[in-house]
Amino acid sequence: MESNEKKPRYGMVIDLDRCNGCGNCTLACAVENNVPPAHENANERTGITWMRVQKVDNNRPYPENRSVYFPLTCQQCDHHTPCESVCPQKAVEYDTETGIVAQIPVRCLGCRYCMTACPYHARYFNWWDPEWPKGMETALNPDVSTRMRGVVEKCNFCHGRLQAARAKAAVEGRRAIADAEYIPACAESCPTKAIYFGNLADAGSEVSRLAKEKNSFRLLEQLGTEPKVYFRSEQSWVHEQMNAKLKTAEKEKIHG
């Protein structure tokens, strides 16, 4: 069915030097994906934020202290996806069509094995049933299903938006969608435009170009999981801190 052209590999490049830690990505994500407000007993370790911003500093005391904000989401590992192979009942799947790691909450039995497998802590368990203040449940996004307690959920690059873009293309008789037609809520909502999103398999795309730059790195690259979320910063301490291998331009050809 699919034409011969290469299948997309969606990915992100996040410019840490542009992130001011406002949290819009976290909020827009929660709105888009029907993540409920916190249960009164929830905390930083039991709450659900598919996209979470974490402040990271250089461990130096005042006044030499410097910090950046890391927007952390599912890193969409392309290779040896740690969570996928461990799920006993295929609730996690590496989507070969898009490179997105899918989590299907209705298949999930809530064993949380995937959460222990994920080194990026990108997976969240529903410790409570979701609850919205009265009336707020009418403002949910119909493109994403709500979840129940006892299942794991995580970022899927706003796949509902991809489905919507495909439906629009289909009604116009197109099988492929243009790059601009699909952008996740976090990237769209970022007021400083720190999040670039696009197709890493397309060598001409901006994300491909940025991902190959020498200032770009990925988290825990040595694990060999080939995450599709890149970070970039021009501050050398960030690279040192992340123990990142700075790439030489010719060395790596991504997702070739």
Partner 1 sequence: MNITRREILRFVGGSALGILLTPVPWKALDDSAIWTQNWPWIPEPVRGESSYKLTSCTLCSASCGLRARCIGNQPVSLSGISAHPLNSGALCSFGIIAHHLRYHPARLSRPCRISGKAGASGSTAMAFDELLLEVAAAINDASASSQTVAIVDGRPGRTASHLFQQFAAGLPNGKYITAGESSLEILGSMFEKPPGPLAYDLDNSKMILSFGVPLLDRWGTPARTARYLQKKSEGKQRIIQVETLQSRTAGMADRWIPIRPGTEAAFALGIAHVILKDKLFRDASKDIAEFETMIAAYPPSAVAEICGVSQDFIRDTAREFSANRPSVAVIDGSANSRHALAAVMALNILVGNVGRKGGVVVHREIPSPVALSKNKMSPISTLDAIPDHSIRAMLIDESLSGSSLPDGLLQKKLTGNGILVSLSPFVTERPFCTQYVIPSPVFLESLAELTGQADRESSSLSLSAPLVPEPAGMVDPIQFIQRLGSAAGVMNIDSGTTEELLKKRMTAIYSEKRGSIFNASNGQTSELKGLTSPDELWNVLFAGGCWMDSPETVRSLPAVRLTSVSTADRIKNIPPESNQLLLLPCAEDVIYRNSEISPLMSKVGQESGLRPSGCKVYLQTATGDALGLTDGCRVMLQTKKGSMQAEVRLDPSMMPDVAAAYSALNQQNIISLCEMNQDASLQPTPVKIQKV
Partner 2 sequence: MDKKFISRGVSRTSIGNFGLWISPWALMLVVGLYAVMLCLFKGLNQTNMDNRFAFGLWIYLDLTVIALGAGAFFTGFLLYILKRKELKAVINSAVVIGFICYSGAVGVLMVDVGQPLRAWFTFWHPNVHSMLTEVTFCITCYLMVLAIEYVPVILKNRKIKHVSSMLVFEHELHKLIVVFAAVGTFLSFFHQGSLGGLYGVLIGRPFAFRPALGIWPTTFFLFIISAAAVGPSFILLTTALVSKITGKKLVKPEVYQLLGKISGSILIVYVLLKAIDTLIWINSTSPSLGFSAASFYKFSGFGTWIMFAEIVLCGLVPALMLLNQNIRQQFRWLITAALLACTGIVINRFVMTIQTLALPTLPFDAYMSYVPSWQEVATFLAVLAYGMLVYSFSFRYLTLFPQERELQSL
Partner 3 sequence: MKFQFLWFLAGLCVMLFIGWIVFPYALYERREQPLQFSHKVHTETAGMSCDNCHAFKEDGRFTGIPALSKCMECHTDVIGTSPHERTLVDEYVKQNREIPWLVYARQPQNAYFSHASHVKLAGLNCDRCHGPHGTSDSLRTYARNRISGYSRDIWGNSISGIKTASWDGMKMDDCADCHNQHNVPNTCLKCHK
CA distances 178 to 175, 181, 219, 230, 234, Å, are 10, 5, 29, 22, 31
CB 176 within 8 A of CB 169: yes
**Which window, 111-119, 156-164, 183-191, 208-216, contacts partner 2 (CB under 8 A)?**
111-119
Closer residue to partner 1 (CB): 61 or 224: 61
Place of tokens 């039995």: 109
Binding to partner 1 (CB under 8 A) within 112-131 occurs at 129-130
CA distances 159 to 97, 118, 150, 200, 248, Å, are 12, 20, 22, 17, 33
Interatomic CA distance for residues 173 and 168, integer angstroms: 9
100 touches partner 3 (CB under 8 A): yes
Rg value, the chain, Cα: 18
- In whole angstroms, the minimum distance from the beta carbon of 181 to partner 2 comes to 33
**Which window, 22-30, 108-116, 177-185, 197-205, contacts partner 2 (CB under 8 A)?**
108-116
**Which window, 88-96, 191-199, 205-213, 222-230, contacts partner 1 (CB under 8 A)?**
191-199
**212 residue type, one letter:** K
Give 22's contacts (C-beta < 8 A, 6+ positions apart).
Answer: 191, 192
**Which window, 29-37, 76-84, 221-229, 247-255, contacts partner 1 (CB under 8 A)?**
29-37
Among partner 3, partner 2, partner 1, none, residue 203 binds (CB under 5-8 Å by kind): none
CA distances 62 to 21, 58, 237, 241, 242, Å, are 20, 11, 16, 18, 21
Helices assigned H by DSSP within the chain: 24-32, 82-86, 113-117, 159-171, 185-189, 206-212, 236-242
Residues making contact with partner 3 (CB under 8 A): 1-2, 90, 93, 95-98, 100, 102, 104-107, 143-146, 156, 159-160, 163-164, 166-173, 175
Binding site for partner 1 (CB under 8 A): 18, 20-24, 26-28, 30-32, 34-35, 37-38, 42-44, 47-49, 52-55, 57, 59-63, 65-69, 106, 129-130, 132-148, 185, 188-189, 191-193
Sites of contact with partner 2 (CB under 8 A): 39, 41, 43, 45-46, 54, 56, 70, 80, 82, 85-90, 107-113, 115-121, 123-129, 148-152, 219-225, 241-243
